[in-house]
Amino acid sequence: MKKITLLVALLVASLTTNAQFLIDEDWDDINTLVDYFAFNVSDDSVGSWFQGNPEVFPAYDGEPNSYLAANFALTSAPGRIIDLWGVTPILDYKNGDIFSFYTRTIEESTFPDRLEIRLDPDGSGIFPTSGDPGSYTNLLLSINPDLELGGYPEEWTLQTVTISGLPAGTTSTRVAFRYWVTDAGLGATNSNYIGIDRLVVESVVLSVEEQSFEGFEHYVTNNLLHLSANTTMEKVTLYNILGQQVVSQKLTSNNETISLSELQSGIYIAKVSIDGARSSFKIVKK
């Protein structure tokens, strides 16, 4: 096990943010993975993900073969499409959670590779088929999207993805790796060999203030300040640039409008209270 790396990661996280580790996968033995799924929906599909080959390159850390790998031999004919999916376990995700991993290809590779990270935004769990991503419609990251020569990292490189596109609160869903290469296979222009190592999923723990204001939005139109939140708002106060209070209004719902018609054009600071927590933001009255 890669205990040293995990201890360092835990220490860094404790110094920078409040986070709960949901996954820390080092790929010691891919045959023992629980609740992961693999789908090879390539043209003339052959094989799947396999244990890393240290003779090609060693793992990021730990045992030399302790990484996830894929290569050009996923289709039996040259010039076809490789479309291999690796779907991670179902977790309770929320916007702002962190999905990170290391990846690389062979040094001085002459056959471009591509990798996507995709999210099932509503947790419907429709797995991909040939030419169809299923419910994994939210593209979070594309490494070397245009299949450029030298566009895929040739040494272990950290990739960090912030989960986004989910509804407010938590959603039970999955994230997928997609090794997707066109004009691929033995003797074709693209596809070589990639490795994936040290997958970490962190659930960021929101402070009381952040929880209260999750989903909060505001905008100004036609001399009206529009406010919306997931829960009932309590109060809004506006101050001019001199720090003088110009508006103070009690709020009683999660959708409110405040008239700005009596205010002069300019910049104002608004303070909103929700569940005893406060947030400030700048507005412009034209």
Radius of gyration of the chain (CA): 24
pLDDT at site 225: 95
Q: Please name the residue that has the structure tokens 């994936």.
A: 196
Domains of the chain: 3-204 (2.60.120.200), 208-285 (2.60.40.3080)
Bin 124: left if φ > 0, else alpha if -120 < ψ < 50, else beta: alpha
pLDDT at site 203: 87
pLDDT at site 214: 73
User: Strand pairing partners for 14?
Assistant: none
Question: Distance of CA 25 to CAs 2, 20, 200, 215, 248, Å?
Answer: 9, 14, 6, 31, 51
pLDDT at site 208: 54
Q: Nearest 5°: phi and psi at 165?
A: 90, 10
pLDDT at site 247: 93
Q: Which residue type occupies 108?
A: E
Q: Which residue type occupies 60?
A: Y
pLDDT at site 61: 93
Q: Residue 77's pLDDT band (boundaries 50, 70, 90)?
A: very high
User: Strand pairing partners for 171?
Assistant: 93
Mean pLDDT on 241-257: 91
Q: What is the pLDDT of residues 84-109, one digit of tens each?
A: 999 999 999 988 899 999 999 999 99
Which residues neighbour 189 within 8 Å (Cβ) at sequence distance 6 or greater? 79, 111, 112, 183
Question: Distance of CA 23 to CAs 165, 203, 222, 229, Å?
Answer: 20, 10, 48, 31
Q: What is the pLDDT of residues 155-214, one digit of tens each?
A: 999 999 999 999 878 899 999 999 999 999 999 999 999 999 999 999 876 565 666 677
Question: Distance of CA 94 to CAs 36, 61, 119, 179, Å?
Answer: 20, 29, 12, 25
d(CA 101, CA 158): 6
Question: Cβ(258)–Cβ(250) under 8 Å?
Answer: no
pLDDT at site 206: 59
- Structure token digits, residue 109: 């590779």
Q: With 50 as the cut, is the pLDDT of residue 13 above it?
A: no
Q: Residue 12's pLDDT band (boundaries 50, 70, 90)?
A: very low
Question: Cβ(140)–Cβ(202) under 8 Å?
Answer: no
Which residues neighbour 34 within 8 Å (Cβ) at sequence distance 6 or greater? 89
Q: With 70 as the cut, is the pLDDT of residue 128 above it?
A: yes
Q: Where are the beta strands (DSSP E) in 144-241?
A: 157-162, 171-173, 175-184, 193-204, 217-221, 224-228, 235-239
Predicted TM-score (pTM) of this structure: 0.71
Question: Distance of CA 264 to CAs 6, 90, 132, 284, Å?
Answer: 56, 52, 54, 10
Q: With 90 as the cut, is the pLDDT of residue 230 above it?
A: no
Question: Cβ(8)–Cβ(158) under 8 Å?
Answer: no
